[in-house]
Structure 1
């Protein structure tokens, strides 16, 4: 008999905890177009800054060594590669963040999205 009462008290406690958690849970974040625009500008700036830094280093070394177009071209291409690499890292970070946001509500509902 005591076991039945303990189970009822435990269920009541679990219900009370669930209600308190729901009351203190922050509202879901709304995705607005500003965050997407910020991410797009961030990626553009990363690409252009990679190109600019590569161009600057190449031009400086060409002036220093007197090999005018060669190091400029080489470092501009390296800067482009670095900019693309940084852009891809940012895209992967945004994709991981979006996947976590999608999987969290599915896990709360009890859905299995892994297939």
Structure 2
């Protein structure tokens, strides 16, 4: 084998590796997106259950110490649910902001103005009687 033969084989191998990597990137991105959605869902469920559990625990503990059995437990359980929902909404807003930043060609600020301009043009045409 000569040196040019090795260089040609090396270039072919590099091209095959590059083609393999680009083909697997698309499949991997789809799988990661699927699992990331499941992870987000589990995160939200965990946040909700944690809020409820912490609120219930604090309320039950205060009820035992103060001798007001169901009163504080109910109040703090409801506060825990509210806290869990608040954290879930914050997580949803974070995920939405991340997806908006990642989505190519999306500019939320321009969409309403473009839509308003299209509607006003259509309405002006109707006012003329045409």
Asked if TM exceeds 0.5, the reply is yes
Q: Secondary structure at the match of 2:110?
A: coil
> Match for residue 58 of structure 2?
57
Q: Point out where structure 2 has 5 or more consecutive residues left out of the alignment.
A: 1-24, 112-130
Q: Point out where structure 1 has 5 or more consecutive residues left out of the alignment.
A: 1-26
> Match for residue 29 of structure 2?
30
1:114 equivalent among 110, 115, 120: 110
Instruction: Give the ranges of 4+ consecutive aligned residues of structure 1 lying more than 2 Å apart after TM superposition.
Output: 27-32
Using the size of structure 1 for normalisation, the TM-score is 0.66
Q: Write the mapping of 1:1-115 to structure 2, written as runs, cut at 5 A.
A: 30-31=29-30, 32-102=33-103, 105-106=104-105, 114-115=110-111
Matched residue pairs, number? 84
Indicate how the Cα distance of structure 1 residues 30 and 65 shifts in structure 2: closer, same or farther if over 3 A, else same.
same
Higher-Rg structure is 2
